[in-house]
Amino acid sequence: MGLSRQTPLQMAAMLVLFQLVVMKSEAFSPDITVSTNGDRTALLSAGLMIGRMKQRWDDVRWTHRHLVVSLKKNMTRCHHGRCELLSDGSLRFSRVHTEDLGNYSLEVFDEDGTLLMKRDVFLRVEGGETSSSSVGVLICCLLLLFLLLFTIIILLLRRRIQRTNTAGPMEENVYVMMHSHHGNKKKDDGEEKQEKGEDSVYGT
């Protein structure tokens, strides 16, 4: 089916389906989930995972949005001052804010810069304000719902207009047929009167 032949309702349904696929692809299953309340401490532990490694590691790196900390580069303090990278590779938060929630990627490298291990740790902040990512998803869903409702309303109005335009000529044709029928009846009455007049003349 060509794009030009698709109805607005089909296009809206495809848009909603595409958005759901994108949201599903962006979702991930973290290896570890750490839950904490706002303004409390939290520890994203890496010592146990790194201790099980047989290879000799040289650098531990944590990344989260605009945050990057690294042991080798001596970047052990977060820019906001609320978290610190420990010597065993763990990331410790002194105070957790709602903006700190999300996925943290732990990467371990050897001396040559080869990636030895990568893990995802999800920090969940319970309570507090709704995260910006959740608000964004909610707004996106509301916009898609509004678009779908708007498309349905447009389709209903278009069908109503088409029915009105179709019913108009039919009523006009019925009026013309009735009018012509009355005209023919008057004509027949006139001819009948004329015949009666002729008969009366002949009778005299």
- Give residue-wise pLDDT tens across range 149-166: 998 999 999 888 888 877
SS3 for 159? helix
Q: Which range of residues forms the domain containing residue 48?
A: 31-129
- Residue 83 belongs to a domain: yes
Q: Give me the residues paired with residue 120 across strands.
A: 105
Give the CATH number for residue 95. 2.60.40.10
Among 87, 84, 118, which Cα is nearest to 104's? 118
Q: What is the pLDDT of residue 163?
A: 83
- Residue 135 belongs to a domain: no
User: Per the structure block, which two tokens stand in for 48?
Assistant: 């146990």
Q: Give me the residues paired with residue 93 across strands.
A: 42, 83
For strand 32-37 and strand 115-126, is the pairing parallel, antiparallel, or unpaired?
Answer: parallel
Q: What is the pLDDT of residue 164?
A: 81
Model pTM score: 0.47
Q: What is the pLDDT of residue 54?
A: 66
User: How confident is the model over 70-77, as a mean pLDDT?
Assistant: 90
Residue 143 clears pLDDT 80, i.e. is over it: yes
Q: What is the pLDDT of residue 160?
A: 87
Total structural domains within the chain: 1
- Residue 173 belongs to a domain: no
- Residue 72 belongs to a domain: yes
- Give residue-wise pLDDT tens across range 75-132: 999 888 889 999 888 999 988 888 888 899 999 998 888 998 898 988 887 764 445 5
- Give residue-wise pLDDT tens across range 3-60: 445 566 666 666 666 666 555 444 445 667 777 766 688 888 887 677 776 678 889 9
- Residue 163 belongs to a domain: no
CA atoms within 13 A on the CB side of 109: 13
Residue 122, classified by CB atoms within 10 Å of its CB into exposed (0-12), middle (13-18) or buried (19+), is middle
- Residue 144 belongs to a domain: no
